[in-house]
Structure 1
């Protein structure tokens, strides 16, 4: 049973996904403003119990998905985390001993079914299909063998990037990664209950039906447990924080010539056991 955030007639709700729509549960649990509050209170079991045997309160077409965690404390993204991605740089260097990290802001994401927005300042809007983890338990200097116990849920991310803007400075990519509504997250949160959900699963990205990215999480240079351990060394991870775990080779920038996203394109990101995140593209 997967958890969702959505809007209907201008009102924000959270609840669970049903086959014919979504079931709003936030009115029954007013103490939890968002799914971040649910996770922080370790109340996911209560929410899932309350949803059992119930049908949709909002049918398909009568609501809009939003980003599952609308108010994360922080979103950190791991760069160059698959072997072939490292090779794409063609700099002759082996994989680095430590992971590359950069922040994203929540307003740079839209929800399932919404359009990524190409800004007038650049035509170089690119896609990056990734799995994101949501932290469920606070921790600092988390041991690697305990790291997966700090995960509350999984979701998908299209870590959309304005490519020429990641080259504006020498040492950072932040400005190219944070254009408003340039990426997507969702469609829902899948409760994390078993390490097998993340250790070696297939991740694929298709653009207009064409397979562009395909790899398995078991090939990550820095597995998810290592990401949690490393990041928590320098910052406390808290419930609702999000780690975007890295994208396989095959983004548009790596084609010759590059293939940028254009209005009318459709991007589908699929991971085993999580689902599919689908979005279109429009000009601002």
Structure 2
């Protein structure tokens, strides 16, 4: 049973997966307008308990999934976090001692099953399959040994990027990383109960059925616990914050010539124990 945010009849709701459909729980918990509020109240066990043994309230096809946390305070992405990713830059430099970070905005993501949008300003829409962690317990200067206890759940992310726009300035990539609906997140939030859920699991990306990315979280240069500890050094992490943990080698930009996403392409990102995030590409 996983947590979902969704739209049904133009109404934003949250609930849990139930077979092929979903069970809306937000009407029963008006004190929690969104899943972010559920997480902040440490109420995931309570809402999961309320759903036990119940059937779907909305059948498949009658709702549209949103990104699991539609209103996070912040989304922070970790770049160049797998060994071969550093080599892809071909700059002759060793992997840095500290992680590369950049922000993304919630409106840059579609939900599972919705379109990834290629804007008219560029044809260089690229994919990046990643695992995202959602913070459940606030903290500042969190010790690495305690970091995983601050996670509420896991989801998947296509950290879609407009490649030529990440080079519009000298030092930052923000422009290329924040086009509306250029990425995706979902399909749901898997409650985090065991470090084994993140320590060494496989993540893969396929485009039109072709395997493009494949690696394991155990090979991350900066493991998730270190990410949480490092990020919380300079900013307070709060419930609902999302950390997008890094993509393996194999994005379209790294082919020769590059292979950009085009309308009609189907991108599937999967990870052990989390599920599969699927989106088709469309022009704006």
Range into which the TM-score falls when normalised by the shorter chain: over 0.9
Q: Give runs of aligned pairs for residues 35-114 of structure 1, distance below 5 A.
A: 35-114=35-114
Residue of structure 2 in register with 1:29 after alignment: 29
Residue of structure 1 in register with 2:156 after alignment: 156
How many Å apart are 1:92 and its aligned residue?
1.2
Taking the aligned partners of 2:192 and 2:86, their CA distance within structure 1 comes to 29
Q: Give runs of aligned pairs for residues 174-193 of structure 1, distance below 5 A.
A: 174-193=174-193
How many Å apart are 1:91 and its aligned residue?
1.1
Residue of structure 2 in register with 1:283 after alignment: 283
Taking the aligned partners of 1:33 and 1:250, their CA distance within structure 2 comes to 39
- The number of residue pairs the alignment matches comes to 284
What's the secondary structure of 2:199's corresponding residue?
Answer: coil
User: What do residues 61-89 of structure 1 show as CA deviations (whole Å, max 9, x unaligned)?
Assistant: 11100111011010000000000101101
User: What do residues 188-246 of structure 1 show as CA deviations (whole Å, max 9, x unaligned)?
Assistant: 00000000000000000000000000000000000000000000000000000000000
What's the secondary structure of 2:156's corresponding residue?
Answer: strand
Please say if 1:266 is aligned against 2:260: no
Residue of structure 2 in register with 1:255 after alignment: 255
Taking the aligned partners of 1:212 and 1:163, their CA distance within structure 2 comes to 17
Please say if 1:166 is aligned against 2:151: no
Taking the aligned partners of 1:41 and 1:10, their CA distance within structure 2 comes to 26
Q: Give runs of aligned pairs for residues 110-259 of structure 1, distance below 5 A.
A: 110-259=110-259
What's the secondary structure of 1:4's corresponding residue?
Answer: strand
- In structure 2, runs of 5+ residues without a counterpart are none
RMSD: 0.4
- In structure 1, runs of 5+ residues without a counterpart are none
How many Å apart are 1:18 and its aligned residue?
1.3
Taking the aligned partners of 1:116 and 1:168, their CA distance within structure 2 comes to 22
Normalization by structure 2: what TM-score? 1.00
Taking the aligned partners of 1:18 and 1:129, their CA distance within structure 2 comes to 26
